[in-house]
Amino acid sequence: MASSSFDMIVIGAGPGGYVAAIRAAQLGLKTCVVERENLGGICLNWGCIPTKALLRSSEVFHLMERAKDYGLSADKIGYDLDAVVKRSRGVAKQMEGGVKHLLKKNKVEVVMGEATLPAKGKVSVKTDEGTEELTAKHIVLATGARARELPGLEADGDLVWTYRHALVPPRMPKKLLVIGSGAIGIEFASFYNTLGAETTVVEVMDQILPIEDKEISALAKKQFVKQGMTIMEKATVKKLDRAKGKVTAHVETGGKVEKLEFDTVISAVGIVGNVEGLGLEDLGVKIDRSHVVVDEYCRTGVEGLFAIGDIAGAPWLAHKASHEGVMVAELVAGGHPHPVRPESIAGCTYCQPQIASVGLTEAKAKEAGYEVRVGKFPFIGNGKAVALGEPEGLVKTVFDAKTGELLGAHMVGAEVTELIQGYVIGRQLETTEEELMQAVFPHPTLSEMMHESVLAAYDRVIHI
């Protein structure tokens, strides 16, 4: 290394860490990023990006199977799972190379190795060549998170998989059990079900996609069941009996336990922050349920030490991590950035149909004491959705009846992960129903449903 002293050291080069490092360098700070595995972190290499590549393949396969619906013919439709996975890994590798280029372009020093914090302002990195001792006035923890493993449900890579195993499967499952119906679980359930696996999803809560609006979740469930999935809500996998080539799951529902047999299980029961082995406790960092406790500016309470992204708690989203990284870099550089507002960060699930949301659900808004106005518009009333052959879905908006503030927006259907940003901008600009109703939406587009949903909340809807 040319130097061991920096203005800012970032530990972890995921979507929070590498963005924080680049922004700090842009602001004139001498910056170093330490990464133990892959530039781009879990998101780029083993999460967001490769899963979307897999899901794109299953989406195209699904459309090919429906060719007749579009007046087309396609014979002998099939897939090569190895080729699908190879494409996914290639996309991840390409993006990792892009991050490497960006760090180099912005003159960010990169050190590959395992980091610890022996003292305030100091980072020790164990590399293949030895140990590097680095110093900086400001240190940013961006070490991310990993899959949670419950006793008795531990992954073995053969019969029981985590998301990593599911991204590079040794075989195509025939009978698949997915434990957990958050974004990760539902996306893998959607991918494998579309490619022909007989798929069962078990969720301990009373609805799948438990953080989503109940109405949106129910519509998604209806579509999943129509596609052949078995959905078990308010159910718990008590244990797994493993034998050669099969797993017997003991699933409890309503106080009764039934034994169900599968050849593959994907465990998607949440994540835990990567807080171990860094020396955080000795520095006085507060840790709550595997996540570092921070204030609105991601400060840990230890002078000069910040934590961003998954290690700093919910929502566990790459775009939240990136914006926290930018905020911290600007704060360190002497700026006055606005804190990131978790309640205005969109969540997206890329199953089929897609789900996207921002802000409060109808139930949460009522719990918070708001008098609400709710607008809904179905995909079947939109010309573009019908033309696309995607007439099943819903856009739902929740407003404060007294002020017109957009409290939340929730969608299920084709391409809603692209549409949701319109409502995100609306919340960021603190818009009211009046501005949204006066905005002219292009025709024919799916986005017109966003307009109609707002109109519906105020009894002005046109097309239903």
Enzyme catalytic residues = 443
* Distances from the Cα of 439 to the Cα of 268, 419, 422, 454, angstroms: 41, 15, 11, 11
Q: Which amino acid is at 361?
A: T
**Residue located via tokens 């963005």:** 19
- The CA distance from 459 to 399, in Å, is 13
**3-state SS, one letter per residue, for the chain:** CCCCEEEEEEECCCCCHHHHHHHHHHCCCCEEEEECCCCCHHHHHHCHHHHHHHHHHHHHHHHHHCHHHHCCCCCCCCCCHHHHHHHHHHHHHHHHHHHHHHHHHCCCEEEECEEEEEECCEEEEEECCEEEEEEEEEEEECCCEEECCCCCCCCCCCCEECHHHHHCCCCCCCEEEEECCCHHHHHHHHHHHHCCCEEEEECCCCCCCCCCCHHHHHHHHHHHHHCCCEEECCEEEEEEEEECCEEEEEEEECCEEEEEEECEEEECCCEEECCCCCCHHHHCCCEECCEECCCCCCECCCCCEEECHHHHCCCCCHHHHHHHHHHHHHHHCCCCCCCCCHHHCCEEECCCCEEEEEECCHHHHHHCCCCEEEEEEEHHHCHHHHHHCCCCCEEEEEEECCCCEEEEEEEEECCHHHHCHHHHHHHHCCCEHHHHHHCCCCCCCCCHHHHHHHHHHCCCCCCC
Q: Which amino acid is at 146?
A: R
Selection from 169, 167, 149, 148 nearest residue 240 by Cα: 149
117 token code pair: 């914090």
Q: What are phi and psi of 60, to 5 degrees?
A: -65, -40
Checking DSSP bridges between strand 235-243 and strand 372-378, what pairing results, if any?
unpaired
